[in-house]
Structure 1
Amino acid sequence: MTKQSLLRIRKNKKGRRGVLCLGLLAVLVVVMYSLISRYHVAGYLLRYINKPENGGSSGILERGTIYDRNLKQLAVTLDRVAVFVRTREVESISDTAISLASILSLDANKLIDQLESGVLRFWVAEDISEEQEIEIRKLNLPGVHFQQEGKRYYPNDLSAAHVVGYVADGTGLSGVEYYYDRLLASRKLKAHQAGKVVSTSQNLVLTVNLKIQRLLDEIARDIAAADSGAKVSAYLVEGETGELIGGSQFPGFDPNNFTKYTRAELENLFFTELYLPDAFRLFLKDCAVLFGEADSGRKVLAWSLSPSPESLGIYLRFWDLLRLGERTATDFYRQDESPGESDPGVAQKLPLVSDDVDFALIPEMTTPFRLLTAYSAILEGGLERTPHAVKYILDTKTGEEIDLGRQGAGNFLFDPRLADSTREMKQLFKSRVDSSHSSALYLRDRVVVAETTDLKGKYEVVTDDVTFVAIPAGEKDLYLLVVCRYTPEYPLPEGKGPIPVEEVIDRKVGRIAILHQVAQTVADVVEPEPGEQGNYQGQKVEGEDKRQGTVSDKDLLPAPLAMPDLKGLSLRKSLRMLQGADVEIKIKGTGRVVDQEPPPGTSLEKIKTCRLILEQSSKMRLDKMRKTRQGQ
């Protein structure tokens, strides 16, 4: 009995010890959680450990700056600095309160009350300026401390927000910012495997042109103005390279304050599936016929398209070659970012077809992104180029530019032996488009869709108005796709007509082409702008102007009636003097204009093409010296 009692006592002691250990562990967890959440201990420890002087790794990759192709800032990380006081460390309450109040423009009496309230720690101010931080540090006030953390800031607000994306807690959640995390992780892994150290200064340079981006913002805004409930998406790519020049959506969102928007407001219309309007499906069907007949060795004329009975499968093959049914894979979109492609919760759609048109086996749905990619490939002779936004990685400390390998020759979707069919596809496109506005070619059509809004079968009627534009821009053509989604009104209110999409776009086409040619010429001489500096200063005040994509016209010149004398002028000034002229400008060389066609004084009324020959000033001087010596 005694032995059993002793055993029972020992077991009880072990049980109490176990309970005590669990209790101590729970208290420790609560204390650690409180320290981490309230005092950001983890952040301090990580910053301390990662310092090279403390034995940490110097190769930790920070989120650098994102630039446009002209090295204008699109996203930058600023220091967000806050001031707090540990009251037990304060030596003089009145001196501390008066000093902080004078620098931070606060009420000294309220600060004194807080210091005397008995709290151990309280926040004095958040998002202080760099000047305020320096002044407080100079005073070296006991008990006054700073908390510093990086804050992602987007200086262009709504402009290119759907392309650039946004960051939360140091993690990219959307757009290029999402791709950035994976790119940095991949580079760090490869460097580690190779036994190398990657510079911590890894910045991204995008293919986006901020000046053209603002013109796209204006296009989207002006089209949406014709219908107050319209949602407009406009994306522009360079056909030969697949570089994304700009992407806009109206209404947009401010990535500096993205948490205020709903998921529907953040959704990217460019990656949301839509029913193809008849004109777009019919063009794809006829291109498939041309492709199929050329593939089989038969000759077919573009104006007498009729497939052979045994070639019906060519439609699906052509669709697959253009990858119109594949999921989106690009560097400025996260696949689960929008519900458009595969989310079962998305409303079901049904087109309201009025005409009995035979589209054979051409599928009826794709995304605007895939449609723009496919049409660009067709007009570029079958060249496969997926639109992308990241051009290269820029190390601002060393000046090194790391090419991502997208500038080489692309693959061809079709067999090169079928070159005749691609030429016929281009001719077919030109026969279907509207070219009455300018040198740009427009293909536009719309589809009306009944969209269910809930499980009870309620639906609403929406219209997807789709416009594809081929824009001549020197040696490399640009392709623009604009999608306008709105609820149609029947009948139209008095004085309200169809949305003037072509007119809105045509007002900007000439300037887009000129700006793109300028960017290609001066790309090798641009330097990173100083951009935003100092500390993060918080959100902008309520009511501040947040207009999306405005471009000043105060410096625009009237369109010239005759060819100006451009010899000796820079390309930028020459293009500015030609702006507004309805001519295609072709540029050869770099530097200043040494020759032009047509000559100065020629009427531009019937001129379609203008050629500018440029040379570097050093070469001009050498030529001049050579001629002088020959004359002597």
Structure 2
Amino acid sequence: MTRSLRSKKNKRRWFLPLLFLVILLTAAGTVLYRIHPSLQDIGRILQSAVGKISSHSAGQSPAEPVLRGTVYDRKWREMAVSYRLYTLAVNPAEIVDRHEVAQQVARYIDEQPERLEAKLKNSQDSMVLAEDLDDKEAEEIKDLRLRGVACKVENVRFYPGHTAASHVLGFMGDGVGLAGVEGKYDTVLQGNGFSKANIPDIDFKGQESLGTEGADLMLTLDLDMQRQVENRFRSYLAAQGADKGMGLVIEPGSGRILALVNQPSFNPNYFWKASESNRVNRMYNHVLNKELIRPILARAAAIERGGLEGPALLPPTVAAPDYGFAQEKLNAFERQIQLYGSVFGNWESGPGAPEQGEAEPVVTGVQVGVTLASLVNGGWRITPYVVDSLYDHRSKKRYERSNEATEKIHVLDPALGVMIRRDLFTNWLQERDNMVAFTADSVQMRREKQFSSFSIQELFAGFAPAKQPKFLLLMAIEQDHLYPKTNDKGSGLGALETMGKELLAGFVKNQTAEAVADVAPERSKENLRQFFISKRLNYREAPGKVNEPISTMPQMRGMSLRKGLQQLDKYRMKVRVNGSGRIVAQYPLPGQPLLGVNECILTLDTK
């Protein structure tokens, strides 16, 4: 009996609060029914509540991601740089005052406030109003403190030199390096910290890791030299009706690559528009005919056979074109100097050495370059490299290449190596120009079932100065067709030799021993301006076969607007003019190829 009474009392205690809750909910529903709140207001209330909860929650708000590291040439000039861009987005469901938002935001998207307000009124979904906003614009929008308006950050990669050294730099996709230096050192450039295993050629100076606050790379390339070789080489190919070629400038004694050219080329800013064949690094992956350098190899072998006490070397004769060497002896000398040895640099790798029993080994452009360099630097075979040093943002120090990183192999006796350097290139010495210039060509025919394919290869190899070579220039071009060629000055090996000698003379004349600062410079404002201009220009690239001379952008800085327009008239481009006075800046830059470019911008200033 007692248990039954207690059970009834418990039921009453639970029933009264439940009844009170039902009455309260009914009253609240009646009030809400009379007020008629919109879904937009309810969404705003819920969003406000969530905002208050998150603003008082524990933990720090996530910091902006570290910008991807910059890639510089050897004089701290930007070759690959990242910028922060912002996307302006609005969520109409969160906006309190559409009119205010339209008035404030319209100036950033170049639209009438009335039209923008109508868009906000007729849509409940989030929408993107503008892209490619810079830091200043994003900060101004943030300071407006408009509900429902936000700027989303995105890091974008830019290559100021466009096609310059594209095969060295490589390219990126979806924030990840995919080729070249960008791919090889993606972990280093990401800015999240890395160890020596990620870049073993650099001396960490006792540090276990670097790059926790970002790191930049300095290359051995010289941007001026790179552009000069590219422009001359591209024009030469166009004049010859050819479209395939490669060029290399290295320091024979150190292995530093100062310029590397591949044609056809591509623009890493628009790498997806280039065909896969255009993106191939021909210098490291394309086969050259060994017969092109046979005269040099035979002469070096003859000097080596005569030894230090041997008689002076006579010219080759019709009866003994290879100084009497049988093919087996020449093959043995080629193996001795490791003509077919693998070339694994610190950014790119060529084919490995052939295994015993393989068919006739092949040779690439970089193997030819390394072999010729070993014949003029005392017999040392030095693997070329392109990554010189690393700049760490946290310590603000530059970490240089380790002395043990450069692979050196003595392929000739030291004293004999000096003798070969002195006597080898006597036949090709240009005493007046203080340089060596060697040219050769070769025609190959390959049978494939009922058809035959032809290949014409032309080679230039040069050193300057002649006695102590500082620069080695190697250029090779290839054509896949046969046709009658004229023997005038502007074609054939004569034109190739003229171009090579002029380039070498310019390298020697303009060489300077500039000291390199240990601290990275501030970001280039000119490159930043280029970047935003290029984002807004209608740039179209048309990579492919070069069948006519490619026009380049003329130099117009310092000219009056009238003279500048006269210079541009023949290119039939649209011209945008900012400011007044004389031309102080131009885009595209002077010397840049105008293939696919149909618009330019001139900046004027009265000062």
Structure 1 residues 178 and 550: CA distance shift in structure 2, 3 A: farther
Residues 188-246 of structure 1, C-alpha deviations (whole Å, 9 max, x = no match): 7799x986665423111111111212211222123113223332322100111111111
2:527 equivalent to 1:514: no
Q: Using the alignment, how far apart are the partners of 1:238 and 1:279 within structure 2?
A: 22
Q: Which of 337, 348, 370 pairs up with 2:367?
A: 370
Q: Using the alignment, how far apart are the partners of 1:405 and 1:548 within structure 2?
A: 42
Q: Secondary structure at the match of 1:159?
A: coil
Code of the residue aligned with 2:174 in structure 1: it is D
Structure 1 residues 325 and 475: CA distance shift in structure 2, 3 A: closer
The alpha-carbon deviation at position 456 of structure 1 amounts to 7.0
2:533 equivalent to 1:541: no
Code of the residue aligned with 1:147 in structure 2: it is K
Q: Using the alignment, how far apart are the partners of 1:489 and 1:98 within structure 2?
A: 67
Q: Which residue of 2 aligns with 1:320?
A: 335
The alpha-carbon deviation at position 285 of structure 1 amounts to 3.4
Code of the residue aligned with 2:131 in structure 1: it is E
The alpha-carbon deviation at position 503 of structure 1 amounts to 1.6
The alpha-carbon deviation at position 187 of structure 1 amounts to 3.2
The alpha-carbon deviation at position 93 of structure 1 amounts to 2.5
RMSD: 4.2
Structure 1 residues 498 and 103: CA distance shift in structure 2, 3 A: same
Kept in 2, the 8 Å contact 1:82–1:127? The answer is yes
The alpha-carbon deviation at position 511 of structure 1 amounts to 2.3
Q: Which has the higher contact order (CA 8 A, sep 6+)?
A: 1
Kept in 2, the 8 Å contact 1:129–1:534? The answer is no
The alpha-carbon deviation at position 75 of structure 1 amounts to 0.9
Q: Which residue of 2 aligns with 1:151?
A: 156
Kept in 1, the 8 Å contact 2:287–2:365? The answer is yes
Q: Which residue of 2 aligns with 1:69?
A: 74
Q: Which residue of 2 aligns with 1:278?
A: 291
Q: Secondary structure at the match of 1:99?
A: helix
Q: Using the alignment, how far apart are the partners of 2:159 and 2:501 within structure 1?
A: 30
Q: Which of 209, 212, 215 pairs up with 1:202?
A: 215
2:313 equivalent to 1:302: yes
Structure 1 residue runs of 5 or longer lacking an equivalent are: 1-52, 343-360, 556-632
Q: Which residue of 2 aligns with 1:616?
A: none
What is the aligned-residue identity percentage? 18
TM-score (norm: length of structure 2): 0.67
Code of the residue aligned with 1:471 in structure 2: it is A
Q: Using the alignment, how far apart are the partners of 2:187 and 2:554 within structure 1?
A: 34
Residues 519-566 of structure 1, C-alpha deviations (whole Å, 9 max, x = no match): x243359962531458963636235999898796999xxxxxxxxxxx
Alignment of 1:192-341 (within 5 A): 198-276=211-289, 278-291=291-304, 294=307, 299=310, 302-303=313-314, 315-333=330-348
Kept in 1, the 8 Å contact 2:298–2:323? The answer is no
Code of the residue aligned with 2:313 in structure 1: it is A
Kept in 1, the 8 Å contact 2:249–2:474? The answer is yes
Q: Which residue of 2 aligns with 1:42?
A: none
Q: Which residue of 1 aligns with 2:172?
A: 167
The alpha-carbon deviation at position 300 of structure 1 amounts to 6.5
2:497 equivalent to 1:498: no
Q: Which of 72, 75, 79 pairs up with 2:84?
A: 79
Q: Secondary structure at the match of 1:223?
A: helix
The alpha-carbon deviation at position 180 of structure 1 amounts to 1.7
2:376 equivalent to 1:379: yes
Structure 1 residues 487 and 263: CA distance shift in structure 2, 3 A: same
Structure 1 residues 72 and 308: CA distance shift in structure 2, 3 A: closer
Q: Using the alignment, how far apart are the partners of 2:507 and 2:530 within structure 1?
A: 35
Q: Secondary structure at the match of 1:463?
A: strand
Q: Secondary structure at the match of 2:508?
A: helix
Q: Which of 389, 392, 401 pairs up with 2:398?
A: 401
Q: Secondary structure at the match of 2:300?
A: helix
Residues 243-277 of structure 1, C-alpha deviations (whole Å, 9 max, x = no match): 11111234421111111111011122212332325
The alpha-carbon deviation at position 501 of structure 1 amounts to 1.1
Q: Using the alignment, how far apart are the partners of 1:101 and 1:308 within structure 2?
A: 81
Report how many aligned residue pairs link the two structures. 472
Kept in 1, the 8 Å contact 2:300–2:424? The answer is no
Kept in 2, the 8 Å contact 1:231–1:484? The answer is yes
Structure 1 residues 81 and 466: CA distance shift in structure 2, 3 A: same
Residues 419-457 of structure 1, C-alpha deviations (whole Å, 9 max, x = no match): 3432343244323325277222111111223467xx876
Code of the residue aligned with 2:338 in structure 1: it is R
2:130 equivalent to 1:125: yes
Q: Secondary structure at the match of 2:410?
A: coil
Structure 1 residues 144 and 540: CA distance shift in structure 2, 3 A: closer
Code of the residue aligned with 2:173 in structure 1: it is A
Q: Using the alignment, how far apart are the partners of 2:141 and 2:555 within structure 1?
A: 41
Q: Which residue of 1 aligns with 2:478?
A: 485
Q: Using the alignment, how far apart are the partners of 1:550 and 1:413 within structure 2?
A: 46
Structure 1 residues 270 and 152: CA distance shift in structure 2, 3 A: same
TM-score (norm: length of structure 1): 0.64
The alpha-carbon deviation at position 302 of structure 1 amounts to 3.1
Structure 1 residues 468 and 334: CA distance shift in structure 2, 3 A: same
Code of the residue aligned with 1:498 in structure 2: it is G
Kept in 1, the 8 Å contact 2:456–2:482? The answer is no
Structure 1 residues 114 and 437: CA distance shift in structure 2, 3 A: farther
Structure 1 residues 443 and 310: CA distance shift in structure 2, 3 A: closer
2:111 equivalent to 1:111: no
Kept in 2, the 8 Å contact 1:242–1:385? The answer is yes
Structure 1 residues 310 and 253: CA distance shift in structure 2, 3 A: closer
Kept in 2, the 8 Å contact 1:277–1:447? The answer is no
Q: Using the alignment, how far apart are the partners of 2:444 and 2:222 within structure 1?
A: 34
The alpha-carbon deviation at position 323 of structure 1 amounts to 3.5
> Which protein is bigger by CA-based radius of gyration?
2
2:98 equivalent to 1:93: yes
Q: Using the alignment, how far apart are the partners of 1:251 and 1:308 within structure 2?
A: 38
Q: Which of 388, 398, 403 pairs up with 1:391?
A: 388
Kept in 1, the 8 Å contact 2:265–2:278? The answer is yes
Kept in 1, the 8 Å contact 2:67–2:83? The answer is no
Q: Which residue of 1 aligns with 2:457?
A: 464
Q: Using the alignment, how far apart are the partners of 1:141 and 1:474 within structure 2?
A: 71
Q: Using the alignment, how far apart are the partners of 1:534 and 1:264 within structure 2?
A: 32
Alignment of 1:578-617 (within 5 A): none
Q: Using the alignment, how far apart are the partners of 2:500 and 2:535 within structure 1?
A: 33
Code of the residue aligned with 1:398 in structure 2: it is S
Alignment of 1:517-532 (within 5 A): 518=512, 520-523=513-516, 528=521, 530-531=523-524, 532=527
The alpha-carbon deviation at position 311 of structure 1 amounts to 9.3
Bigger mean CA deviation after superposition, 483-492 or 157-166: 483-492
Code of the residue aligned with 2:416 in structure 1: it is S
Residues 34-53 of structure 1, C-alpha deviations (whole Å, 9 max, x = no match): xxxxxxxxxxxxxxxxxxx8
Kept in 2, the 8 Å contact 1:238–1:244? The answer is yes
Q: Using the alignment, how far apart are the partners of 2:556 and 2:499 within structure 1?
A: 16
Structure 1 residues 281 and 404: CA distance shift in structure 2, 3 A: same
Code of the residue aligned with 1:372 in structure 2: it is G
